[in-house]
Amino acid sequence: MVNYYIKKFEVEQKRMKVGLKSLGYLFTILFGVTSVLQYNDPDSFIWILIYGTAAIISFLFSKGKLGMKVALILGIICLAGFVYLYPLNFQGFDLDDGDMKTVELGREAFGLLIIALVFFFYAFVLRKRL
């Protein structure tokens, strides 16, 4: 009876690992595509670098090569970037919602927030390794 529950637990652990690995690969692709789409941005270099780094970090997470501290520190940096870039008079994401500069800052800020949340998720998953 005990062996049954141990076996069941091991199967669930394996499924969880595959699911987390797949999620890491998904974010690798999403951040990679987002990085490529930044080429027409006026400040494209920095955003290609940011999203490219997020793609690499996601790939490392998928391969089991990412440390919890790295994910946590990068998440904190991205969260600080969100706070720094977030416009005081946020007007939305659509160009018809307001001033183009404010809309662009809002988009960039929320991009950093998404990256931060993904990195915090990685850190949360990796916390068990310590």
- The pLDDT assigned to 76 comes to 98
DSSP, residue by residue, 67-96: -HHHHHHHHHHHHHHHHHHS-TT---SSGG
End-to-end alpha carbon distance in the chain: 31
- 117: helix, strand or coil: helix
Cβ neighbours, 10 Å, residue 3: 7
Q: Taking the complete model, does pTM exceed 0.75, yes or no?
A: yes
User: Of all helices (H) and strands (E), which one includes residue 17?
Assistant: helix 2-37
Structure tokens at 10: 């091991």
Confidence at 45, pLDDT banded by 50, 70, 90:
very high
Q: What is the C-alpha to C-alpha distance for residues 22 and 105, in angstroms, rounded to an integer?
A: 31
Q: Which residues, 6+ apart, have CB-to-CB distance to 63 below 8 Å?
A: 24
pLDDT band at 93 (very low <50, low <70, confident <90, very high): low
Position 117: which residue type?
L
Tokens of 99: 């001033």
Integer Cα distance of 102 and 28 in angstroms: 28
pLDDT tens digits, 60-78 = 999 999 999 999 999 999 9
| Per-domain boundaries in the chain | 2-129
Q: Mean pLDDT across the stretch 84-94?
A: 79
